[in-house]
Amino acid sequence: MTDNEKALMHQLEMTAHSQGTAQFLYNLFGGGFVTKGQAKETLEFCIAKMKRDIESNPLLSREQKDYEIAIRESWFNALKASMEL
């Protein structure tokens, strides 16, 4: 599945389960309990969306897109490693 498809599927799933999304955000920012699975899924969605957004930017060259993706992906990977996901 491509990153664009992952992002689209996750957006559809989040919309379909908006109550669950609201609970996830409340737990995340309200000091509640968030499972590792929820955190990992959310980070995967963020990575896929970030890649899709950069790839769809017509003002960037291929080199700039690759550079931006590499920088941001390394940040997300460091975040995942610090969260032990």
pLDDT at 63 over 90: yes
- 3-class DSSP state for residue 79? helix
Decide which of 40 and 71 is more confident.
Answer: 71
Residue 12, CB-side half-sphere exposure with 13 Å CA sphere: 6
Above 80 in pLDDT, residue 10? Answer: no
Measured CA to CA, the distance from residue 12 to residue 68 in angstroms comes to 26
Residue 16, pLDDT > 80, answer: no
* pTM for this model (two decimals): 0.64
> What's the whole-number mean pLDDT along residues 3-29?
68
Alpha carbon separation from 4 to 30, 68, 82 (Å, rounded)? 30, 17, 26
Average predicted confidence (pLDDT) for the chain: 80
